[in-house]
A and B are shown apart, each in its own frame.
Chain A
Amino acid sequence: MTFPIFLTMLSSVWTTLSLAVLTIGISTVLALLLVPFAMTSQAWARIPVSVFTWIGRSLPTLSLIFAAYYGLSAAGIRVDAFISALVALVFFATAYMVEIFRAGFVSIPFGQHDALRALGVGKFIAFRKVLTPQAVLIAAPAYVNFTTAVIAETSLASAIGLVEVTGMAKRLVQPFPDAAIPLYGTAAAIYFVIISSIFLAQILLERRVRALSAIPTRKRGRAA
């Protein structure tokens, strides 16, 4: 594989990163809006959200991408591969993130709710100032882990013709069939570097947080 081909591969990183960042940003906002509904005792609000997270987590991301691609155009909405992939990935990522955030809130000891009520703290203030900061800290490792999964899943957009990193390798294999291994190897290396840097950042951050909270902990097992 020559140097110009390597540069062409690198040029596709931008598409992968913008797809991943947009997916993560939009899904995070949507998931934070949906989380209160996922935790309420009101069935009319909770059940639709749980059905959505169940579907979003049970269907293969690749079929969601095909569904968005064929489904949107069948519904008369003309969108390109990037938007189709973005819609599908947001659907998938929001479903997971709602569950990640919910788990963060649920793991706060229930006594805190009672304590806040006993202290006469309003529900909104309690959520914003007391419960959310704790839930964010608890959910952070799973959230960061999941963002790496989102980056890996953006590769599926190549199946509907988007030329991100995997799509670029696929496109370059056609004129250079003998270079299939170096091309896909380069793609693998690009993902490895991006995702590993997030893993490393996570390890360093968790070390910082543990040092700040100064709670003596046992040697940490790997995050699931």
Chain B
Amino acid sequence: MNWEPVLLSLPQLLAATGLTCLLTVSIVVLSTIPAIPLGILRSGSGVASRVIGGFSWTMRAIPALVLVYVVFYGLPSVGILFAALATAIVGLSIQATAYNLEIFNGGIRSIDHRQRDSVRALGISPGRAWVHVLIPQALPAAIPPYIGNALVILKGTSLASVITVQELTGTTNILINRFNQPIPLLITSAVIYLLLATVLTVIQAFWEKKASFVRSGSL
């Protein structure tokens, strides 16, 4: 096996890995921020919960790739011109929001409902109740699926390659066509993805330990 193409294109592969990380972090952040209030609303009952449930149902029923294409062609037609990178971030964040809000909803529902009643009975304001009492308790149940979704986001960033963003998968394809040496390049990109996935697993282990400490400390 000829590893020269990998050595020659190391700077390009590193830049592409950086772009994959940038995409992952942006999408995780941009999908978490709206998902927290949406997840809280979803855990209630009534119209808001149903509308949000319909949104997450729809997002789970449409492939991310089709969504990326719709945003890619759809935004310019309503006069919004984004670079391909921003388009990918928007398209993938919309879907990730749907998954994250359901994860937070699940975490909130895992809390004993008497906790919500007690907080109200003690006259604690809803804002403080969520920040200091309810969210810390919802966290342990939400962390594993949340990191699981971050892994799905990391893998989903590869879709940006179809709209010309040269992240890791896109760059690997370009290099395969240039050097005509698929195997070493495919192995290299796989190893990079595995390393990135391992980083997420390590984050999960640390965070779960911390969250369980918070939980046992507060009760």
Contacts and interface: CB of A to CB of B under 8 A. Distances in A.
Contacts of A75: 183
B143 interface: no
A5 to B, nearest CB: 16
A13 to B, nearest CB: 14
Interface string A135-153: 0000000000000100011
Contact of A66 (B63, B74, B169): B169
B136 interface: no
Main SS at interface, chain A? helix
Contacts of A191: 61-63, 66
B73 A70 contact: no
Contacts of B63: 152-156, 166, 191
**Interface residue tally on B, bucketed by range:** 35 or more
Contact of B158 (A60, A148, A180, A181): A60
A185 B62 CA distance: 10
Which of B105, B110, B189 has the most C-beta atoms of chain A within 10 angstroms of its own C-beta? B189
B70 A58 contact: no
B61 A155 contact: no
A74 B64 contact: no
Contacts of B182: 70-71, 73-74
B14 interface: no
Nearest to B194: A58
A181 B183 contact: no
Interface of B: 53, 57-58, 60-67, 69-70, 73-74, 77, 102-103, 105-106, 109-110, 145, 151, 154-159, 161-162, 168-169, 172-173, 176, 182-183, 186, 189-190, 193-194, 197-198
29 contacts: A58-B155, A58-B194, A58-B197, A59-B190, A59-B194, A60-B157, A60-B193, A63-B158, A63-B169, A63-B186, A66-B173, A70-B186, A73-B182, A148-B60, A154-B63, A155-B65, A156-B65, A166-B65, A180-B69, A180-B73, A184-B66, A191-B61, A191-B62, A191-B63, A192-B58, A192-B62, A222-B102, A224-B102, A224-B106
Given A154-B63, A155-B63, A222-B106, 13 more contacts: A59-B155, A60-B155, A60-B158, A61-B158, A66-B176, A159-B65, A166-B65, A166-B66, A166-B69, A181-B77, A191-B63, A195-B62, A222-B105
Interface of A: 54-55, 57-63, 66-67, 70-71, 73-75, 148, 152-156, 158-159, 166, 169-170, 173, 180-181, 184-185, 187-188, 191-192, 195-196, 199, 221-222, 224
